[in-house]
């Protein structure tokens, strides 16, 4: 794994400033008591693909124009399936903006059974290689910042199906949201 140093100058680029403002506003909005009174609490569970096979789960609070969430990822890329022989376990905290929610709020769109979420998660990750050396053991822990995009569709029983793509392993995730 390559280690990168983060300096203040690299954080002050306009795109990164926007991302940090977006993430902090989502976290503050999600932590406010009024936000949870109006949101739908859901459990998300699913599987992941690429580079190996994995599982995905967590808690989500869905609102009309944003979501706040905590997710756990696990991805295994065993050598017998052509992978590098590793396991990655991650915990992500963050949220997403729901662009169609803004359009519905303005009143220009009818109620649909699908939605699009564009979000950001941040959190710790642990990397385990099957053939570890002393140097790779010292580099197990890292922090990640993951932009993601998700498409959701309402099912007949009130549950929601989702398909998601991000840059943290597993790269492609799909599953269900269950109302609690």
- Please tell me the least confidently modeled range out of 10-19, 53-62, 83-92, 138-147: 10-19
Two tokens, residue 141: 């822990």
Domain boundaries, the chain: 11-31+39-161
The whole-number pLDDT of residue 170 equals 92
Per-residue b or e along 131-166, where b marks 16 or more CB atoms closer than 10 Å to that residue's CB: eeeeeeeeeeeeebbbebebebeeeeeeebebebeb
With cut-offs at 50, 70 and 90, classify the pLDDT of residue 14. low
- Between these two residues, 140 and 59, which has the higher pLDDT value? 59
The whole-number pLDDT of residue 6 equals 45
- Please tell me the least confidently modeled range out of 5-14, 51-60, 86-95: 5-14
Kindly tell me if the per-residue pLDDT of 161 is higher than 70. yes
Beta-carbon contacts of 111 under 8 Å, excluding residues fewer than 6 positions away, are: 104
pLDDT digits (tens, 9 = 90+) for 95-134: 999 998 888 777 765 667 789 999 999 999 998 888 877 7
Is the separation of the CB atoms in 136 and 129 below 8 Å? yes
The whole-number pLDDT of residue 7 equals 45
- Between these two residues, 55 and 33, which has the higher pLDDT value? 55
How far apart CA 88 and CA 126 sit, in angstroms, is 6
Rounding to the nearest 10 degrees, give the CA dihedral for residues 92, 147, 171, 112. 100
Q: Mean of the per-residue pLDDT values for the chain?
A: 80
Kindly tell me if the per-residue pLDDT of 173 is higher than 60. yes
The percent of residues in the chain predicted with pLDDT above 90, rounded, is: 43
Q: How many Å is the Cα radius of gyration of the chain? A: 18
With cut-offs at 50, 70 and 90, classify the pLDDT of residue 17. low
With cut-offs at 50, 70 and 90, classify the pLDDT of residue 8. very low
The whole-number pLDDT of residue 40 equals 85
């Amino acid at each position: 794994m390559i280690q990168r140093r983060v300096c203040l100058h690299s954080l002050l680029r306009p795109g990164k400033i926007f991302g940090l403002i977006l993430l902090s506003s989502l976290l503050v909005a999600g932590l406010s008591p009024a936000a949870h009174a109006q949101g739908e609490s859901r459990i998300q569970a699913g599987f992941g693909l690429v580079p190996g096979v994995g599982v995905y789960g967590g808690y989500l609070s869905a609102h009309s124009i944003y979501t706040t969430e905590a997710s756990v990822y696990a991805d295994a890329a065993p050598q017998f399936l052509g992978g590098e022989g590793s396991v990655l376990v991650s915990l992500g905290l963050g949220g997403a903006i729901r662009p169609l929610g803004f359009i519905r709020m303005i009143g220009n769109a009818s109620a649909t059974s699908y939605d699009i979420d564009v979000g950001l998660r941040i959190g710790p990750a642990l990397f385990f290689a099957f053939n570890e050396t002393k140097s790779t053991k010292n580099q197990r822990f890292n922090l990640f910042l993951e932009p993601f995009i998700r498409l959701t569709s309402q099912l007949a029983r009130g549950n929601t199906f989702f398909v998601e793509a991000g840059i943290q392993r597993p790269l492609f995730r799909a599953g269900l949201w269950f109302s609690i």
